[in-house]
Amino acid sequence: MSVRRLAEQSLQPRDAFAFTAENLAWAQNTIAKYPEGRQASAVIPLLWKAQEQQPGWVTERAIEYIAGMLDMPKIRVLEVATFYTMFNLAPVGRYHVQLCGTTPCALRGANDLIKICHERIGEQFDITADGALSWVEVECLGACVNAPMAQINYDFYEDLTPDSFRKILDDLAAGKDVKPGPQIDRQLSAPVGGPTTLTDTKIYEYTATHGGPALTDASAKKPSQGAADRESPAPKAPHADSSQDQTSTRRE
């Protein structure tokens, strides 16, 4: 991992940071969840809330403010902010593209998407002139089945192609609504082209005595009975000859 540092001073706001009244109430409630003396455990959620308020990145003033709230040395909060890549340490666009470049996505065309980011936006953490877009290459985002993919703000965009990715960036920059999720005709992470196994409905159809036909994807799923709600099985009785067998075995 490359060294992560705070943005240069010319980009840092001069005004002191403070949570809004709503965010302050949220922060105080979050801190109260931890036992006395353990308030520092709230540092990650408070940094996240500060990044949302800024918006989009964590400033040095915000780090100082949170250190004061949690009675922590500034360097300890700085260590957390610079370690976790979920925290942006420099300004980002209104739509910050986190593009996965790990092996599964690379094998499915992520390198072509990286080229588009360079052409459309610039270098990593550059911001377009209209303030709309910025980007960074990241490690696995956990949607390998739907590779290649990108996270833009809070949404995942999957099964991307160069054409669909360009359109997403253009539509976001233009303020248009964009549908997140798979960008091809597939349901979530279901197989492309539809199911290929267990296609014979006779395998899993219920008879009338078992409650009717099997559920479909459109049917409401019923929760199964939890393990804590089921009656424990009766313990098995020891075999009548088990002790005798063990004794004879030891003698042999």
pLDDT of residue 48: 96
Q: What angle do CA 58, 138, 135 make, to 5 degrees?
A: 65
Rounded distance between C-alpha atoms, residue 86 and residue 77, angstroms: 14
pLDDT of residue 133: 97
pLDDT of residue 201: 72
pLDDT of residue 190: 82
Tokens of 118: 């360079």
Fold annotation for 95-182: Glutaredoxin (3.40.30)
Give the class (CATH, top level) of 9-83.
Answer: mainly alpha
pLDDT of residue 208: 45
Same fold, 9-83 and 95-182: no
Question: pLDDT 10s per residue in the chain (252 long)?
Answer: 467 888 889 889 989 999 999 999 999 999 999 999 999 999 999 999 999 998 899 999 999 999 999 999 999 999 999 999 889 999 999 999 999 999 999 999 999 999 999 999 999 999 999 999 999 999 999 999 999 999 999 999 999 999 999 999 999 999 999 999 999 988 888 888 777 777 777 766 654 445 555 556 555 555 566 656 666 666 777 665 555 555 554 555
Instruction: Dump the DSSP string for 41-70.
Output: GGHHHHHHHHHHHTTSS--HHHHHHHHHHT
pLDDT of residue 49: 96
Partner residues linked to 181 by β-bridges = 157
> Hey, where are the domains in the chain?
9-83, 95-182
pLDDT of residue 171: 96
Q: Looking at 159-244, which runs of residues are DSSP E strands? A: 181-182
Q: Looking at 139-177, which runs of residues are DSSP E strands? A: 150-152, 155-158
Q: Tell me 201's DSSP state.
A: G
pLDDT of residue 78: 96
Our measurement of the distance from residue 11's CA atom to the centroid of its chain's CA atoms, rounded to an integer in Å, reads 28
